[in-house]
């Protein structure tokens, strides 16, 4: 693929993400600046509260839930994605959780507990496999 075609594809992808973000904001989701939501990502906006920080990337096929259908909704069930989080392909984040700042949710991870800041989580259920402070020290 030529550089020109890649540039066009990238711009189209950003435009689609912008439209998706505008829709989710209209539906009541609090979304920060410089967020990218892929075309196949799904955010649950029917009940509960969903907050997404700045510079978050959400990849294709990911699901971020704000409620469960089988339990009555607690008064304030809040799902929070803090700043600079990367959520990779087909990750699932269950309702009422917080994903800490600068964390990475690996492909296919099912997050069932709060994720601390500066870690990489993977697996089903998701577990911490690496602390990113070590990564920063090595660079």
Alpha-carbon distance 4 to 100, whole Å? 37
Residue 130 has pLDDT above 60, yes or no: yes
pTM: 0.85
Q: Active site includes 67?
A: yes
pLDDT at 102: 95
Domains and CATH numbers, the chain: 3-138 (2.160.10.10)
The catalytic residue among 67, 81, 99, 122 is 67
**87 contacts 56 by C-beta, under 8 angstroms:** yes
Q: What is the distance, to the nearest Å, from the Cα of residue 7 to the centroid of all Cα atoms in its chain?
A: 24
- Please state, in angstroms and as integers, the Cα–Cα distance from residue 68 to each residue in 62, 78, 94, 95, 96, following that order: 16, 12, 8, 7, 10
Give the pLDDT confidence of 116-126 residue by residue, as tens digits: 999 999 999 99
Give the pLDDT confidence of 98-116 residue by residue, as tens digits: 999 999 999 999 999 999 9
């Amino acid at each position: 693929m030529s550089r020109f075609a890649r540039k066009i594809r990238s711009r189209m992808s950003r435009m689609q993400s912008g439209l998706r973000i505008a829709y989710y904001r209209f539906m009541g989701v609090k979304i920060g600046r410089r967020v990218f939501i892929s075309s196949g990502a799904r955010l649950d906006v029917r009940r509960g509260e969903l907050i997404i920080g700045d510079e978050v990337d959400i990849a294709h096929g990911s699901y971020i839930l704000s409620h469960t259908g089988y339990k009555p909704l607690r008064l304030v069930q809040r799902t929070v994605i803090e700043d600079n989080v990367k959520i990779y392909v087909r990750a699932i984040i269950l309702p009422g959780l917080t994903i800490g700042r600068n964390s990475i949710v690996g492909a296919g991870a099912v997050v069932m507990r709060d994720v601390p800041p500066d870690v990489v989580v993977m697996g089903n259920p998701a577990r911490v496999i690496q602390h990113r402070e070590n990564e920063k020290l090595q660079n």
